[in-house]
Amino acid sequence: MATIAHPGDHGHGGDHGHDDHGPLHHQFEDIEQQNECYIVGMWTFLVTEVMFFGAFFLMYTVYRMYYQLDFYRAHEHLNIPLGAVNTMILLMSSFFMVMAVQGAQLHNRKQVIGNLGLVQLCAMGFLTIKFFEYKEKFADHLVPGVNFTQNAAELHGANLNHAQIYYGLYFGMTGLHAVHILVGMLVIGALGAMWIKRDKLVTEDYVPTELIGLYWHFVDLVWIFLFPLMYLLPKPH
């Protein structure tokens, strides 16, 4: 396998994307270096995502420090079983994702496509449950703004303003997470389509599948923290 592309390589057939070098591109010494570069590149993106979500978690921490009791009261409105089911759905989707990556490593096309399909189903299930949770909160006027409810029963006795901060963080953080799920569904859909079409970009080497897997696991990680911090606030005692 040639590790250095010669100027003459550009001659054949106009297609120098796949023909000669397999998955290895000419700027890399060998496939290990290329794979490490790809994966480190993806992790760099994930670090920026940690910074992005980190600001939200910091904001949550500061307001939770000040308004501990009101956050607890406002959170009583959330549906814990639905949150737990959604957590489980995302954990399972992460498992299907690693099985898809394993399939890519073993060049088992059916395993990849089947598992990517299961990941998509999990993502749809997650968003469906989230939709019904949001719908119920919209109906109860729990969206921060001028129409925010003044009903003490809906707020579980929490201070109106502090409850708005809680719901602002709830919709902001879970909404941003849901957007990440949507983006994940798009890229996983594109990846699955490439596997179905036997595109060499994904079938020759497992790393493209692995990179999208890394993104999906990150989305799962965010939810692992969102679930206890939004749904499972400890009772002040």
Task: Report the candidate in 57, 171, 181 with the shortest Cα–Cα distance to residue 125.
Answer: 181
Contact status: 220 vs another protein (CB under 8 A): yes
Output 87 or 192, the one with its CB closest to another protein: 87
Residues 37-56 that bind another protein (CB under 8 A): 39-40, 43-44, 46-47, 49-51, 54-55
Query: Tokens 């409850």 — which residue?
Result: 163
Stretch that binds another protein, among 101-109, 125-133, 175-183, 195-203 (CB under 8 A): 101-109
Give the whole-angstrom CA distance, residue 181 versus residue 94: 12
CB 86 within 8 A of CB 178: no
216 Cα distance to chain centroid: 5
CB of 15 to another protein, least distance (A): 21
Query: Interacting stretch for another protein, rule CB under 8 A, among 9-17, 26-34, 131-139, 188-196?
Result: 26-34
Angle at 118 between CA 187 and CA 217, to 5 degrees: 55
Query: How many residues can be counted in the chain?
Result: 237
Q: Is 4 in the site for another protein (CB under 8 A)?
A: no
224 binds another protein, rule: CB under 8 A? yes
Whole-number minimum distance, CB 14 to another protein, in Å?
26
| Residue 1 is a binding residue for another protein (CB under 8 A) | yes
> Minimum distance from CB of 217 to another protein (Å)?
5
Query: Which one of the spans 11-19, 123-131, 148-156, 193-201 is the region binding another protein (CB under 8 A)?
Result: 148-156
Only segment of 13-21, 142-150, 179-187, 192-200 that touches another protein (CB under 8 A): 142-150
Could you say which residues in the range 150-209 bind another protein, by CB under 8 A? 150-153, 155, 157-162, 206
Quote the least distance from Cβ 131 to another protein, whole Å.
Answer: 22
